Amino acid sequence: GDLKVKERLGIPQQDMPAQDPVVRGGNQCEVALGYTEEQVRLEALRCLQCKNAPCVAGCPVSIDIPSFIQKAAEGEYQASIDIIKESSLLPAICGRVCPQEKQCMEHCTVGKSLKDPMLSVAIGRIERYVADWEREAGKITPPQVGPETGFKVGVVGSGPAGLTAAADLRKAGHQVEIFEAFHKPGGVMIYGIPEFRLPKAIVEQEIATLEAMGVKIHLNFLIGRTRTIDDLLNKDGFDAIFIGSGAGLPKFMSIEGENLVGVFSANEYLTRSNLMKAYDKQRVDTPIYPSEKVAVIGGGNVAMDAARMALRLGAKEVNVVYRRTREEMPARAEEVDHAIEEGIIFHFLHNPTRIIGDEQGKVCALEVQRYELGEPDDSGRRRPVAIPGSEYQIPMDTVIPALGNVSNPLIRQTTKELETNKWGNILVDDENRSKMDRVYAGGDIVLGAATVILAMGEGRRAAAAITKDLTSGRWG
């Protein structure tokens, strides 16, 4: 029979099964193993099926959360995943990497009654379950492609924004060609987010589906160099272009010693280890620096990934240095918990002041300064204030700044008509049209470093606008 609200609230949130922290420190395999069928049914029963569904407002692509959870509770997994796919193209990915506690789960009635968004219905875990169920059962079928329209659309970049735009554009019947700078498609999902958080096979499956739909992918193709946006429009016959080139330019701290041997941007460190698979030392040619004592600077997902990767590559001690406190960390809560379980050491309210090198120009120590929390700043967070004279040095052989990324200027420099803001993000209207005719943009190149689900949502919106504009004859 039907459960009462009280009974539903009485079901404890199902723990995510995970690899043992000691074991996983030595491998690249996924940490979170996914719910069992029994767990997913129980977790789905926790959902109160709220009439106003506040959770939906927290999801950037407005997935019909109560409906898909209802179907999961009934064991109707195909129906469940079909509901999700009406709104999201990459559920196996978003179920894993969305910062749920700040999105759908933040608004969930269950979490509100238990006074902790972490105790909300584990929406992402259920989403992951049904998406994995579909993939593992071999039930993924490429979406139906509409009748050919004769239009040809180019997509720059193969991250979540580009892949989503490509899928929707192809579904609408346009010919679609993706241009990707790297030798493998997938964007940050391939080169940045590690295997232990997002198995590459999942991303590869999404790309295989796109290719099965007839989307053509040109790898090793750098727009702005190999060919410009103008070339694509004027020489190669593209009717419209979507730019989803991401935010790929690493920020450094501008402190002394930043160019010493042993200082790597998180992008470099993660690209070497993920895309280039440097962890597979016996088989691959790309080297990775041998580290004993590592300091990662920053508190976001990028910092957590770099720190946990360093641990897996054999570092004896991994430190995270962060200016604020645990509460302000922008990283997903689950990743911080996992990092702590794995033995990563956190230095909150600390900030690096300089990096010290030995006579061979290699890092040998990091100088840090203590901070305390002062008055709240514009964002409402209490501002960290340096404590004068509190500097001290920690011996260290590797320093990895993970301070986020800004946009790569290449496309902007080679496409005169595009307009950007002072951070280099492309300016678009509310349907993702840039200031240049026939050119649209979305994802991190528009939002600044954001999230997979937001990038996906932007790709969808732009694709819809492109189809609308092409078929309405807006561009003549």
Partner 1 sequence: MNTIIEKTRLSEDVYKMVFQAPYIAEARKAGQFLIIQLDTDFGERIPLTIADADEQAGTITIIFQAVGKTTRMLGDLNQGDSIANVLGPLGTPTDIRRVGTVVCVGGGIGVAPLHPIVQAYKQAGNKVITIMGARNKDLLILEEEMRAHSDEVIICTDDGSYGRKALVTQPLKELCEQGIVDEVTAIGPPIMMKFCAETTRPFGVHTMVSLNTIMVDGTGMCGGCRVTVGDETKFVCVDGPEFDAHLVDFDNMMLRQKAYKEQEQHADHACNIGLDVRTPQGGTK
Q: Please pick, from the candidates 58, 111, 124, 244, the single residue that binds ligand FAD as defined by CB under 6 A.
A: 244
Q: Does 356 bind partner 1 (CB under 8 A)?
A: no
448 binds, among partner 1, ligand FAD, ligand SF4, none (CB under 5 to 8 A by kind): none
301 binds, among partner 1, ligand SF4, ligand FAD, none (CB under 5 to 8 A by kind): ligand FAD
d(CA 81, CA 382): 41
Q: Does 298 bind ligand FAD (CB under 6 A)?
A: no
Binders of partner 1 among 226-265, rule CB under 8 A? 226-227, 248-250, 252, 254, 258-262, 264-265
Q: Between 98 and 462, whose beta carbon lies closer to ligand SF4?
A: 98
Shortest distance in whole angstroms from residue 370 CB to ligand FAD:
27
Q: Does 411 bind ligand FAD (CB under 6 A)?
A: yes
Helix crossing, 65-73 with 77-87: angle to 10°? 170
Q: Please pick, from the candidates 60, 159, 357, 384, the single residue that binds ligand FAD as defined by CB under 6 A.
A: 159
Which residues make up the interface to ligand SF4 (CB under 6 A)?
A: 47-50, 53-55, 59, 63, 65-66, 88, 94-95, 98, 100, 103-104, 108-110, 120-121, 123-124, 127, 453
220 binds, among partner 1, ligand SF4, ligand FAD, none (CB under 5 to 8 A by kind): partner 1
Shortest distance in whole angstroms from residue 31 CB to ligand SF4:
17
Q: Does 223 bind ligand FAD (CB under 6 A)?
A: yes
Binders of ligand FAD among 412-471, rule CB under 6 A? 443-445, 449-453, 455
Shortest distance in whole angstroms from residue 291 CB to partner 1:
12
d(CA 246, CA 450): 9
Q: Between 109 and 228, whose beta carbon lies closer to ligand SF4?
A: 109
Shortest distance in whole angstroms from residue 139 CB to ligand FAD:
25
157 binds, among ligand FAD, ligand SF4, partner 1, none (CB under 5 to 8 A by kind): ligand FAD
d(CA 129, CA 121): 14
Residues found near partner 1 in the complex (CB under 8 A): 181-184, 219-222, 225-227, 248-250, 252, 254, 258-262, 264-265, 267-268, 271-272, 276-277, 280, 282-290, 360-362, 408-410
Residues found near ligand FAD in the complex (CB under 6 A): 97-98, 156-162, 179-182, 187-188, 192-193, 222-224, 244-246, 248, 270, 301-302, 305, 332, 408, 410-411, 443-445, 449-453, 455
